[in-house]
Amino acid sequence: MEFHTFTLPNGIRCIHKQTNREVSHCGLMINAGSRDELEHEHGLAHYIEHSIFKGTHKRKTFHILNRLDRVGGEINAYTTKEETWVYASFLNHHFERALELIADITFNSTFPQKEIVKEKEVIIDEINSYLDSPGEMIFDDFEELIYDGHPLGKSILGTEESVKSLSQTDIFNLIGRRYRADQMVFSSVGSHSIEQIKRLALKHLGDFASETTEDTRKPFGGYQPREIELKKNVFQTHCIVGGETMGNDDERKMTLVLLNNYLGGPAMNSRLSLSIREKYGYTYNIESNYTAYGETGIIQIYLGTDNKYLNKTLKLVDRELQLLREKKLGPTQLHDARQQLIGQLALSQDSGVGTMLALGKSYMLYDRVDPLHEVFKRIESITATDIQDLANEVFDPRKLSRLIYKA
């Protein structure tokens, strides 16, 4: 068996993969993100993630930050639109130290007023830094265009105004709504046996009690394609083309992952990279991305180019999408696309922290984790017709939106 699973009496699910390396990784995933914020709470989920490091009933900020750092370990956290992670990496014999610290800051944070006021300035600096990066900011603006009026359309960071308005009461209200045991997964990768993991998880996570979470997430519907061009203080023209598509609950998700990877994934031999960047030199960066949420997702092609090449580049992008819609991949193309994705997934499992995060997310979403060989089988079963049919659905020109930043 590649991994072990169990559930604590309070409802927290746990998953562990035993390895023979010197370093372990563990983390607690909470099914809470920016889409769970109320109208006046914009940026709150991310603000909580920052603020849990600012003090607990038994630790001040210094003691939290020093607890793992002093033994060469690392503790970190991040927030997305649907999840919050608190996780750590450390030498094997510090496992209990790390788990106890994660439990303490997740369940016992006091959010002292003085510290959270100070942290607002840190987050506002983060927001301003982000606003200085048009190549990053355009992704948030494009999601706002796709999910117009829906919580998924709001940026994770919030705005300067919204962050300044957040209060300690807001923090405890969101935690009360979403930080529930039945919405948590503890994931670990390391040399400890499953018996040791069960004992330590029960000791440090087992006392947390909560009610069952009600599903209050507003489903998304009513996507309308739009084209917007904005004047920005930029040297390069930035553009995203894409639209709304399937989410984590769709059985065709792996087909779209394969299609996206072939079209504009991270490899330098993607279709967009070869046919536009390498052949014509019109762009330094061109890529496609697929992001899946619960019941919806977003597929997008990003490019940055000199304004004089924008129209030519967009015509080449349209040509690549048309080829995917009208012509099936040949046997060699399909074989290579499958093997590339399989290889990339295998390499991703070589990262201990990456494996830990992937196990936790899969267990949270599906209450199971498929072994790699089963995932590979699923990829091998995808046909050229499957890819072409999906390309016709997600890259239908009538369904695509466009956002452009121009000087």
All residues at 6 or more sequence positions from 319 whose CB lies less than 8 Å from its CB, including other chains: 275
> What's the average model confidence in pLDDT over 376-396?
98
Question: How many of the other CB atoms lie within 10 Å of CB of 165?
Answer: 16
pLDDT of residue 214: 79
Q: What is the mean pLDDT of residues 271-300?
A: 96
Provide mean pLDDT across the span 266-295.
Answer: 96
Top-confidence residue, 214 or 12 = 12
Q: Tell the residue number behind the tokens 């009538």, with chain if given.
A: 398
Rounded average pLDDT over 371-398: 97
- Give percent of the chain above pLDDT 90: 96
- The pLDDT-based confidence of 126 (bands split at 50, 70, 90) is very high
Give me the CATH code for the 227-406 domain, please. 3.30.830.10
Give tens-digit pLDDT for 40-51: 999 999 999 999
- Read off the pLDDT of each residue in 14-34 and give the average, rounded to a whole number: 97
Sorting pLDDT into bands at 50, 70 and 90, what band is 213?
confident
Q: What is the mean pLDDT of residues 3-14?
A: 97
CA distances to 9, 259, 329, 333, 334 from 388, rounded to whole Å, are 47, 9, 8, 13, 11
What pLDDT was estimated at residue 84? Answer: 98
pLDDT in tens, 352-368: 999 999 999 999 999 99
Q: Please tell me the distance from the alpha carbon of residue 347 to that of residue 342, in angstroms, as a whole number.
A: 9
- In three-state secondary structure terms, 297 is strand
Average pLDDT over residues 253-282: 96
The answer to whether 283 and 273 have CB atoms below 8 angstroms apart is no
User: What's the chain's average pLDDT?
Assistant: 96
Quote the pLDDT of residue 216.
82
Pairing of strands 84-91, 23-30: antiparallel
pLDDT score at 212 = 82
State the DSSP string of 137-157.
Answer: HHHHHHHHHHTTTSGGGS-SS
Q: Do 213 and 15 contact (CB within 8 A), yes or no? A: no
Residue 376 to residue 356: CA distance in whole angstroms: 19
- The predicted structure's pLDDT at residue 215: 79
Q: Are 103 and 89 in contact (CB under 8 A)?
A: no
How far the first Cα of the chain sits from its last, in Å, is 56
- What mean pLDDT is predicted for residues 131-139? 93
Nearest to 164 by CA among 39, 44, 51: 44
**Per-residue pLDDT tens digits for 326-342:** 999 999 999 999 999 99
pLDDT value at 266 more than 80: yes
- pLDDT at residue 77 in the model: 98
Question: What are 244's two structure tokens?
Answer: 């709304």
Rounded to whole angstroms, how far apart are CA atoms 148 and 145?
5
Same topology between domain 4-205 and domain 227-406:
yes
Sheet of strand 227-231: strand arrangement = 227-231, 401-406, 237-245, 297-305, 283-292
The residue-averaged pLDDT of 360-383 equals 96
User: How does pLDDT run across 74-118, given as a tens digit for each residue?
Assistant: 999 999 999 999 999 999 999 999 999 999 999 999 999 999 899
Residues 6+ apart with CB under 8 A from 239: 138, 302, 303, 304, 305, 310, 313, 314, 402, 403, 404, 405
Q: At what angle are helices 168-178 and 113-131 packed, to 10 degrees?
A: 80
d(Cα 96, Cα 94) in Å, to the nearest integer? Answer: 6
- What is the CATH number that goes with domain 4-205? 3.30.830.10
Ranges of each domain in the chain? 4-205, 227-406
**What is the side-by-side order of every strand in the sheet holding 84-91?**
4-7, 13-18, 184-190, 23-30, 84-91, 74-79
- CA-closest candidate to residue 394, choices 194, 199, 259: 259
- Using DSSP's 3-state secondary structure scheme, residue 383 falls into coil
Has residue 1 got a pLDDT over 70? no
Rounded to 5, what percent of the chain is helix, strand, coil? 50, 20, 30
* Residue 152 in this model has a pLDDT that exceeds 60: yes
Strand-strand pairing, 297-305 and 237-245: antiparallel
The total number of residues shown for the chain amounts to 407
Q: Is pLDDT above 90 for 187? A: yes
Pairing outcome for strands 227-231 and 401-406: parallel
